[in-house]
């Protein structure tokens, strides 16, 4: 009987401690959201001390230490969890950010490689190590971004970085990655920047088009794209690159693509183009994609004059989020 009562008392005490810890953690998070990191740290630290095994408490305290620029303390806190083998993916991400902020690039890279081994399908880690290498002017960054695209195709940030990386060297790959990014993360504040790059890349591609270019290209997927796209060169010579001419070029490209053994290279982005064409929304989509970059006031006028058409496209776009397929990586 005494043993039973003792167990009940222990349970009540533990429950009370857990409630106190949760209350302190919630208060600390609110202070952190408000930017009051000093009070946030004090409360989060109390919550952590009440329950050192709680990974959520640990991560939020480490994040607060990052905001306070207490990088070494945050690293020490998370290293204990990582070494124990109980760290989740967010723990690795926060730790990597702390290492990078503390200029410990070798340690950060090793940590990300360890994270990739533990979470091989998480695109965020490929992006993080790519950005770390890019900061060190190491072009191996693109290998990690593209590996992230291949293994986790719905994670957007790798497309953003790959688009930027190829902007001045491989305009078609930059277009493919950039347009995919814009569809995956259309509301991101960086999306207008990528839309500008898309328009400029079409200009750069057709300005440098040569008949031999696609013959020398080893990648068969890109070879087919270049062959199909080069057929539209006369339109560019006659009318230049505008939103209107891009609608014509891209319409003819999709029709030609699907008339020439499309099963060889199934590609979700082109499937979406074909669907929009069949449903009469491809023009509105291209205005959304290129219009504001070419001429913002002209785009606003077009969207007002074609309000119903544009509204229908936007409703369709929001109701059908774009999701690339894992087995369609060809680079």
pLDDT at 10 over 50: no
CA distances (Å), origin 20, targets 16, 30, 32, 40: 6, 16, 18, 15
Q: Residue range 191-201: average pLDDT?
A: 96
Mean pLDDT, the chain, rounded, equals 89
In a domain, 12, yes or no: no
Measure the CA–CA gap between 18 and 141, rounded to whole angstroms.
44
The proportion of the chain whose per-residue pLDDT surpasses 70, expressed as a percent, equals 91
Residue 12 clears pLDDT 90, i.e. is over it: no
CA distances from 204 to 9, 173, 199, 209, 216 (A): 74, 12, 9, 9, 19
Domain carrying residue 262: 168-331
Q: What pLDDT sits at residue 331?
A: 87
Which sign does the torsion angle of CA 145, 151, 155, 159 carry?
positive
Q: In this structure, is residue 178 part of a structural domain?
A: yes
Average pLDDT over residues 290-319: 95
Does residue 113 lie within any of the structural domains?
no
Has residue 235 been placed in a domain?
yes
Contact by Cβ (8 Å): 45, 76: no
Residue 295 lies in a domain: yes
What's the pLDDT tens digit per position in 131-147?
999 999 999 999 999 99
Mean pLDDT of 115-143: 95
pLDDT tens for 16-35 read: 445 678 999 999 899 999 99
Residue 14 lies in a domain: no
**52 SS3 class:** coil
| The overall pTM is greater than 0.75 | yes
Render pLDDT for 70-108 as a digit per residue (tens, 0 to 9).
999 999 999 988 988 888 999 999 999 999 999 999 999
Q: What is the mean pLDDT of residues 273-283?
A: 97
Tally of domains within the chain? 1
Instruction: Tell whether 104 is covered by a domain.
Output: no
Instruction: Give the pLDDT score at 232.
Output: 81
302 located within any domain = yes
């Amino acid at each position: 009987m005494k043993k039973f009562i003792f167990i009940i008392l222990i349970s009540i005490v533990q429950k009370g401690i857990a409630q106190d810890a949760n209350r302190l953690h919630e208060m600390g998070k609110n202070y952190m959201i408000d930017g009051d990191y000093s009070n946030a740290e004090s409360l989060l630290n109390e919550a952590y001390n009440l329950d050192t095994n709680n990974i959520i408490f640990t991560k939020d305290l480490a994040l607060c230490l990052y905001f306070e620029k207490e990088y070494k303390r945050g690293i020490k806190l998370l290293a204990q969890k990582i070494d124990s083998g109980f760290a989740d993916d967010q723990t690795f991400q926060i730790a990597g950010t702390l290492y990078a902020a503390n200029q410990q690039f070798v340690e950060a890279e090793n940590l990300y490689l360890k994270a990739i081994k533990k979470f091989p399908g998480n695109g965020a880690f490929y992006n993080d190590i790519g950005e770390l290498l890019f900061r060190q002017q190491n072009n191996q960054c693109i290998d990690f971004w593209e590996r992230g695209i291949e293994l986790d195709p719905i994670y957007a940030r790798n497309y953003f970085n790959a688009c930027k990386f190829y902007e001045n060297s491989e305009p078609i790959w930059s277009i493919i990655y950039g347009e995919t990014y814009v569809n995956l993360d259309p509301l991101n504040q960086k999306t207008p920047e990528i839309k500008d790059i898309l328009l400029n890349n079409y200009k750069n591609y057709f300005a440098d088009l040569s008949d031999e270019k696609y013959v020398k290209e080893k990648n068969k997927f890109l070879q087919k794209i270049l062959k199909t796209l080069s057929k539209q060169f006369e339109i560019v010579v006659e009318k230049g690159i505008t939103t209107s001419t891009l609608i014509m070029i891209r319409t003819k490209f999709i029709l030609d693509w699907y008339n020439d053994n499309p099963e060889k290279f199934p590609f979700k982005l082109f499937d979406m183009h074909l669907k929009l064409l069949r449903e009469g929304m491809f023009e509105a989509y291209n205005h959304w994609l290129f219009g504001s970059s070419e001429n913002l006031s002209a785009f606003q006028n077009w969207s007002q004059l074609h309000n119903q058409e544009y509204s229908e496209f936007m409703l369709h776009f929001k109701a059908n989020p774009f999701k690339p397929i894992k087995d369609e990586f060809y680079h």
